[in-house]
Amino acid sequence: MLVSPSTHSLSPSDCPPGVFLAVPDEPPDGIPLAVKDLFDIAGLVTTYGSPLFADHVPVTTAPAVAALEAVGYGVVGKTNLHEFAYGTTSENPHFGVVPNPRFPGRVAGGSSGGNAAALVLGAANVALGTDSGGSIRIPAACCGIVGFKPTYGTISLEGCFPLAPSFDHAGPMARHVRTCEEAMVALVRSFGVTALDSLEEVSVVVGWLDGADPLVRARVGQAAERFTRRRVVDVPLPERVGRLFMHEVAGVHRELFAENADLYGEDVRIKVERCLAVTDAEAESAAQRRADYPAAVEDAIAGADLLLTPTLPCVAPAVGAGGVGDLEVREALVSRTFPANVLGWPALALPCGAAEDGAPASVQLVGRPGSDSLVLAAGRLLEAELGAGG
């Protein structure tokens, strides 16, 4: 079921610096697909956002990419990202800052920032990204597009450099929800599209509005009003689970970092050093808190189909606002996205109107495990009612 038009507004080679890291010699046939440079593609340089892999050319293609190619998508290029996908701004000291084409001077979000920029520029119709703490949804929010993180394990991560394996997800990004839905059908052959006639069929719990900037809160609240069956609830956030995430990052980078620490960018080097300091006991305690978290969320949203929240508590920060890389903005940017990675539940981000400084607010729909098609169907109807997507 491929109905997206195969048209370009801008070719990858004409995009600003910092968007694409590698492009094929010949433009491919099919629906234009951008791929985060974390996935291996045979014959194309795949850097993982690090100079350590600047000359790395895989001999096999990641299964998720191959699945899309098999049904008519064509890879137009590999996109830039936050180094090793460990960041929320895509300010890459090695390959350049990913520009935000709609809001120059603001970050594109990370770590799948190049995907978002390529989609806004029209260099691709759909993009394949990864999301460990919000890395699909954060750039979607910053650039005013759509990003979907499916239920954990739905899409293969073979041939993709890991960040924190039990938190890592792969998923599509696009300008519209329907395009993400079509990509899910291509990526998961058993994926069934849910038919919804009205948002009246869906009940939502509204959460995590407190602490959001005033206009972000207002726009997300207005999006929530599109659901007649809604209630505002104090939904718990995960507490001190991040130590488990960090322990897993340490496990991925321990040997590589020991030999090449000086080749890591400063912000990622600092974060990896912090991860290496996490003890096994701290990780085990965090794992127990993670295990307890789904029941707490279930209690809070009991009787509702979906959880509706801001994707971000703010609009896209200015480039450089994070100090060194994203160190000073990371905690805020992942505050509403990371819980869905802790849970492994599907989550969709879509724009919901202009907020502070005219930059977009983004609303997040989160469903229970396996409810991916319901999340997308509700998102498609909400997008139509809001007139969102670009």
Catalytic residues: 36, 111, 135
Tell me phi and psi for residue 321, to 5 degrees: -65, -20
Sheet strands (E) in the chain: 20-22, 31-36, 73-79, 91-92, 96-97, 126-131, 146-149, 169-174, 203-206, 229-232, 306-310, 347-354, 360-366
Q: Are strands 146-149 and 126-131 parallel, antiparallel or unpaired?
A: unpaired
Q: Cα separation of 314 and 211, whole Å?
A: 9
Q: Cα separation of 10 and 372, whole Å?
A: 31
Which helix (H) or strand (E) segment is 339 a member of? helix 338-343
> Side-chain half-sphere of 118: how many Cα atoms within 13 Å?
35
Per residue, what are the HEC states of 47-97? CCCCHHHCCCCCCCCCHHHHHHHHCCEEEEEEECCCHHHCCCCCEECCCEE
- Give the contacts of 300 (CB within 8 A, at least 6 positions apart): 205, 207, 233, 234, 235, 236
- Give the Cα-Cα-Cα angle 200, 149, 80 (nearest 5 degrees): 135
Other CB atoms within a 10 A radius of the CB of residue 96 amount to: 16
Asked if residues 180 and 191 have their Cβ atoms less than 8 Å apart, the reply is: no
Asked if residues 187 and 350 have their Cβ atoms less than 8 Å apart, the reply is: no
Q: Cα separation of 310 and 308, whole Å?
A: 7
SS3 (DSSP) at 175: coil
Q: Cα separation of 123 and 115, whole Å?
A: 10
How much of the chain is in helix, strand and coil states, percent to nearest 5? 35, 15, 45
Q: Cα separation of 180 and 68, whole Å?
A: 12
Measured torsion, CA atoms of residues 75, 76, 77, 81, in degrees rounded to the nearest 10: -90
